[in-house]
Every structure is written in structure tokens, then in C-alpha cells.
Structure 1
Amino acid sequence: MIVCFDIGGTAIKGAVAHAPDDIRPVPRQPTPLDDFDAFVGVLRGVIDRAGARPDCVTLSIAGIIDPDTQAAVVANIPCIHGRPLKADLEAALGLPVLVANDADCFVLAEAGVGAGRGHRVVFGLILGTGVGGGLVIDGRLINAEGGFAGEWGHGPVAATEAGHPPAALPRFQCGCGQQGCIDAICGARGMEKLHHHLHGETLTSEEIVNGWTGGEARASRTIDVYVDVIASPLALVANVTGATIMPAGGGLSNSDALLAEIDRALRQRILRRFDRPLLVKAECAIEPGLVGAAVLGLGYRPA
């Protein structure tokens, strides 16, 4: 039995997990942002309710663990940002602690109990406000010790010309400090910037996708350019990792038509040929961070 948490800037979701299909959530609690002792207190309260000593405690966080310093980079929760979080929590709780990025927990959930079951190499991608991802090979998270692997949304690789016929594109500024990242043009906010650049019109990503599926010309042009931009770097990810399934989560993945269109373009650009979809909708739609944290903890073996 383990205790797992999905740590967000607003709320902490906790659960007691006995198996991947036996995860028992407890009521969520507000996240203490500036008080580490209070943060530990929330975790301890859930642990105390478990009824027995857990094998370990696992956390899904909206940040990363620096593999060189072991410091947590979680900008929206100041009380844990910059801390050696694993060591500090183990000292405070007296239990082994595992910490993973939320996108990594998402792909762990998909590989363990979702769309990636039965696949050796699973690359999970987030198509939400921004773009993220994670990689599991033979059931093991590549970022098991922390790190940046899977962050395919960052790096100045976005096309400066895309679509049919080609449209000239700017290198949008990314939140990571670079220009031309996939995150800056292919997340929901990026799609909105792309639409405004092409048409001078401000719409939400949902309105753009709905307009496209309804046959509206400007929205259709935006999606044509968007798919051309995103498919090539995603094809490179597929070639480099050898992934045989790519479950997608996040708000944009709610459009089956959009996923199918990206998948069609993706499979035309990769070396290995699939006669089935490679990019698929994630199956762990409810609490994937918590499910992934549970999968991570249930696979824990003491050193």
C-alpha cells in the first residue's frame, strides 16, 4: 500500500493506493503556498488516514526535479520551490518519497492502465494550454531520477512556413525564454496566436476547433497550418524514441477530429509505417496525475 498525491497550485489531491485499479481518493485540500510545515501537515494528514504504514509516498508536481541539484522547480508553490524536496519530505515524514513531474505521471498512468498497455515504448503528450510530454520504456519512467526528458515542446524548432499553400510564420516568444518553441505555437494559447496572426481575429482555441469542424474557412486555414507545424516535430519524437503509441491529454485532445488529423499527418512523416493510429486519446481522463503517482509508488522497491 502506498499514499500518493497530485500537487497543484490550488489544491492537493491525495489517495491511498493498494493496486493500480484500487486507488481510494480522499477529499482534496487547499495547497499551502508559503508554509512548508503546513504543506507537510496536509500530506501527513492523508498518510495518517491510511490505516497502516505505507511503503512509500509519491507526488505528482507541476514542475521538475533538477537532476543535478535535486532541487524542485515549482514556481507556483513557493514553499517547495528550490528545496531538495525528496530529502526534505523524507526527513519530515519518515518515509521513502518519490517525486515526478505531472506530465511524467500522466504517461505512467497511460502506460500502466491506459492506452499504452502492452506497448514497450510509450510517449505521452500534453496538448493543453501549452505542450508537454513524457516517456516510459519497459514500464520505467525515463525521468525516474528527475530531469527534462520528454519536454518536446521546448527548443527553437517551430517552422517559419507551414500550411497548404505555405504561410509565413513568426517565431513566437515562449515562456521558457526562447523563441520558436512548439509550446508557443501549438498549445491552446499558441493556436489562438496563430489564428490572430493569420486572420487578425481573436478567438479561443475551442472556437477555432469548432469552426474548423463546422467548415468555417478561416478556422480551417488555421488548423491546416497548425497541423503542418506540429506534425513534423512530433514525427521526429516518434523516430527518436521508437514509440509505438502516443496517448494525448489536455484540452485540445478533447477534439477527436483534431487528434485524427494530427495523427494522419504524423504517420505520413515517420519511418515506421503503422496501419492503425499512433496518436490516440488518453484513456485516463480522470485524475491522471494521481493515477500516475500511484503507478509510480506501487512499483517502488527499496534500495
Structure 2
Amino acid sequence: MIVCFDIGGSAIKGAVAYSAERIEPMERRVTPLDDFDAFVEALRAVIAEAGGKPDCIAISITGVVDPETQAIKCANIPCIDGRKLAAELTERLNLPVLIANDADCFALAEAGAGAGRGYRIVLGAIIGTGVGGGLVVDGRLINAEGGFAGEWGHGPAVATMAGTPPVAIPLFDCGCGQRGCVDTIGGARGMERLHQTLHGKALPSLEITRLWQEGDAEAARTIDVLVDLVSSPLALTINITGATIVPVGGGLSNVTPLISAIDKAVRSRILRKFDRPLVVPGECHVEPGLIGAAILGLGGERT
């Protein structure tokens, strides 16, 4: 038995996991943002509620662990930013602690219990508010020690001309400090930014996708440009990793026609040809972070 967590900037979700198929969620708690002692005590309370002594603690969390220093970079939760979080929690909780980025845990969940079951190389792609991803090979997370592998949303990879016919696209500043990242145009906020740029209209992403599916010409132009911009970086990532399935999570994964359009474009741009869908909606719709953390803890290395 392990206790797993999915921790974001607003809530701590905890669960007891006996297997990837048997995960029993517990009451959510508010994430303490500025008080590390309170953060630790919130985790301790969940562990106590679980009853018994778990074999380990496994955490899916916003932020990235540096593979060399083991320090976490987490702007959403200031009290843990810069800490060697796994080591500090191991000492404070007196239990082994494993930590992975939330996109990595999504990839683990899909590889072990979702659309990636039965595939050797699974690239989990997040297309939500922004763009992210994780990579699992032979059931093991590439970023087991931390790092950015599978993170196709960042790096100056966006074309300056896109769509049919082509239109000029500015390189937008990204929160990571670079310009022209897929994250700036590929997720919900990026879709809204593109629509504003192309048509001078501020609309939420759900409205844009609704209008697109109803045949609106302006929304169709926005989606055409977005698919063109997103598909080449994703195709390159697939070529480099050799992924044979790409489950997609995040809010825009629920817009099935959009994922189908991206899949069609990606499959036309990769070296290996598939006569089946490659980029597909994820299947772990309920708590993929907890599922991924459970798989991490149940199958990960013990320290």
C-alpha cells in the first residue's frame, strides 16, 4: 500500500493505492502556498487518514525537478520552490518519497492504464491551458530522476508562417523566458491569442472551438493555423522519440475533432507511416495525476 498525491497550486489530492486499478481517493485539502511546515502537515494529515504505514509516498506535482541537484522549480507553490523536496519530505515524514512532474504522471497513467497500454514508447501530450508532455519507455518514466524529456511545449519551435493560405504569425513571448514556444500558441490561451491576432476578436477557446464545429469561417481559420503550427513540432518530437502512441490530456483533448485534425496533420509529417490514429484522446479522464503517481510509487525505485 502506498499513499499518492496530486498537488497543484490550489489543491492537494490524496489517495491510498493498492494497485493502478485500486485507488481510493481521500478528502481534498487546500495547498499551503507560503508555509512549508503547513505544507508538510497537510501531507502528514492525509497519510494519517490512510491508516497504517505506507511503503512509500508518491507525488505528482506542478513543477520540474532538476536531475542534477534534485531541487524543484515550482512557481505555483512558493514554499517548495528551490527545495530538494523529495529528500526534505523523506526526512520530515520518515517515509521514502518519489516525485514526478504532473505531465510525466499523465504519461505514466496513460501508459499503464489508458490509451498507451500495450505500447513500448508512449508520449503523453498535454494540450490544456498550455502545452506540455512526458515520455514513458517500457513502462518506465524517462524523467524518473527529474528533467524535461518529453517537454515539447517549450523551445523556439513555432513557424512564422502557417495555415492555408499561409499567414504571418508573430513570435510571442513565453513564460519560460523564450519566444516562439509551442506553449504560446498551442493550448487554450494560445488559441485565444491566435484568434485575436488573426481576427481582432477576443473569444474564449471553448467558444472558438464551438464556432469552428458549427462552420464559422473565422474560427475555422484559427483552428487551421493552430493545427499547422502545433503539428510540426509534435511530429519532430515523435520522430526523435520513436513514440508509437500519443495520448492527449488537458482541456482541449475533449474537443475530439481538434485532436483528429492534429493527428491527421502529424501523421502526414512524420517519417514512420501509420494507418491508424497516432495522436488520440487520453483515456484516464478521472484523476490521471493520482493514477500516474500510484504507478510511480508501486513500480518505482525505493530509496
**Shorter-chain TM-score tier:** over 0.9
- Using the TM superposition, give the Cα deviation of residue 281 of structure 1 relative to its aligned residue in structure 2, in angstroms: 0.5
Q: Which amino acid aligns with 2:27?
A: P
Partner AA of 1:285 in structure 2: H
Q: Distance in 1 between matches of 2:70 and 2:14?
A: 23
Distance 1:37 1:301 in 2: 27
Is 2:108 the partner of 1:108? yes
Structure-2 separation of matches of 1:102 and 1:206: 23
Match in the other structure for 1:203: 203
SS at 1:228's partner residue? helix
Match of 1:254 in 2: 254
The separation in 2 between residues aligned to 1:302 and 1:134, in whole angstroms, is 21
The 1-side partners of 2:254 and 2:169 are apart by 26
State the secondary structure of the residue aligned to 1:49: helix
The equivalent of 2:123 in structure 1 is 123
2:133 corresponding residue in structure 1: 133
User: What is the CA distance between 1:37 and its match in structure 2?
Assistant: 1.5
TM-score, with structure 2 as normaliser: 0.98
How much has 1:197 moved relative to structure 2?
A: 1.0
Q: Does 1:170 align with 2:170?
A: yes
Q: Which amino acid is the alignment partner of residue 231 of structure 2?
A: A
- Quote the Cα distance in structure 1 between the aligned partners of 2:116 and 2:182: 24
Are 1:127 and 1:250, in contact at CA under 8 Å, matched by a contact in 2? Answer: yes
* SS at 1:181 equivalent: coil
Instruction: Give, in angstroms, the shift of residue 238 of structure 1.
Output: 0.9
Which residue of structure 2 lines up, in the alignment, with residue 287 of structure 1?
287
CA RMSD of aligned residues (A): 0.9
> What's the CA shift for 1:204?
1.1
Cα separation, 1, equivalents of 2:157 and 2:6: 31
Aligned twin of 1:264: 264
How far has the Cα of 1:239 moved from its partner? Answer: 0.6
Matching residue's letter, 1:79: C
Partner amino acid for 2:242?
G
Task: Give the aligned partner of residue 192 of structure 2.
Answer: 192
Pairs within 5 Å for 1:152-167 = 152-167=152-167
Q: Which residue identity lines up with residue 200 of structure 1 in the other structure?
A: G
Percent identity for Structure 1 against Structure 2:
66
Structure 1 residue 33, shift from structure 2 partner: 1.3
* 1:78 aligned partner: 78
- In the alignment, residue 277 of structure 1 is paired with which amino acid? P
Give the residue type in structure 2 aligned to 1:218.
E
Give the Cα separation in 2 of the matches to 1:66 and 1:300. Answer: 18
- Structure 1 CA distance, aligned partners of 2:236 and 2:178? 20
Residue 122 of structure 1 aligns with an amino acid whose one-letter code is V
Does residue 218 in structure 1 map to residue 214 in structure 2?
Answer: no
How far apart, in 2, do the equivalents of 1:181 and 1:61 lie? 22
Counterpart in the other structure of 1:236 = 236
Deviates more, 1:96-105 or 1:206-215: 206-215
* In 1, Cα distance between equivalents of 2:126 and 2:29: 25
1:18-167 correspondence to structure 2 within 5 Å: 18-167=18-167
- The CA deviation at 1:105 is 0.4
Q: Compute the displacement of 1:240 (Å).
A: 0.6
Q: Structure 2 CA distance, aligned partners of 1:212 and 1:300?
A: 43
Instruction: Report the Cα distance in structure 2 between the residues aligned to 1:264 and 1:86, rounded to whole angstroms.
Output: 41
- Cα displacement (A) at 1:48: 1.7
Gaps of 5+ in 2: none
* Post-superposition offset of 1:300: 2.8
How far residue 211 of structure 1 moved from its aligned partner, in angstroms, is 1.1
Q: Distance in 2 between matches of 1:175 and 1:301?
A: 33
Is there any run of 5+ residues in structure 1 with no aligned partner, and where? none
User: Are 1:56 and 1:95, in contact at CA under 8 Å, matched by a contact in 2?
Assistant: yes
1:32 positional shift? 1.2
Aligned pair count reads 303
Q: Distance in 1 between matches of 2:90 and 2:212?
A: 50
Amino acid of the structure 1 residue aligned with 2:302 = P
1:114-138 superposed Cα distances (whole Å, 9 cap, x missing partner): 0000000000010011100000000
What is the CA distance between 1:51 and its match in structure 2? 2.4
The alpha-carbon deviation at position 185 of structure 1 amounts to 0.9
Name the CA distance, whole Å, in 1 between partners of 2:192 and 2:107: 26
| Structure 2 residue matching 1:247: 3-state secondary structure | strand
- Structure 1 residues 202 and 302: alpha-carbon distance in aligned structure 2, compared to 1, 3 A threshold: closer
After superposition, the C-alpha distances for 1:250-297 in whole angstroms (9 at most, x for unaligned) are 111110000001101111111111111000000001111111101100
Would the aligned equivalents of 1:56 and 1:300 in 2 still touch at CA under 8 Å? no
